[in-house]
Amino acid sequence: MFRRALWKTLGFVGYTVQYGCIAHCAFEYLGEFVACTGPSMEPTITSNDIVLSERFSRHFFRIDKGDIVIVRSPSDPRINICKRVIGLEGDKVCTSSPGDIFQSHTWVPKGHVWLEGDNLRNSTDSRSYGPVPYALIRGRVCLKLWPFINFGPLSDSPNNRDTRIS
């Protein structure tokens, strides 16, 4: 009786470990669900929205301007941030805030991207910490899942980005 219970327990633990490994690989290499907080991506993504982030684009260098990405924060690697890609390596981007009288520009160095929140007046982004290394990108946001009324692909930026890139 004891042996039978032991084998059942070990079998259960084995299946749990297997499914745990499969789940880990799926979230690490395919994609993940992300709960977004903070005002920096409003109105595209608001606090408590849940989005789906896929990982293939990051691995195959298919991140483009206008994509929304999940990135390890350059200032605190324990947290992830959600921002829009404004410039890729070699692009000249505007580094000024919207209300600045004089505009300043910089070049995005090789292996980096320029990220900004859609809410330019309330976002800590590349205008604060500079270009972000491509290696910090965790995935590209492809769908808004929650709230269900807004289910579907994400909208384009509400800002006129043509004036942000030279």
146 contact partners, CB below 8 Å, separation of at least 6: 48, 49, 50
Residue whose pair of structure tokens reads 């993940």 in the numeric block: 32
Considering only CA atoms, which of 138, 158, 153 is closest in space to residue 70?
138
- Active site annotation includes 110: no
Strands in 19-166 per DSSP E: 31-35, 50-54, 68-72, 80-87, 92-94, 105-107, 112-116, 132-133, 137-146
- Choosing from 57, 73, 75, 83, the catalytic residue is 83
Residue 121 in tokens: 């007046």
Q: Concatenate the DSSP letters of all residues of 57-95 into one string.
A: HHHTT---TT-EEEEE-SS-TTSEEEEEEEE-TT-EEE-
83 is catalytic: yes
Q: How far apart are CA 52 and CA 144, in angstroms?
A: 6
- Catalytically active residues are 40, 83
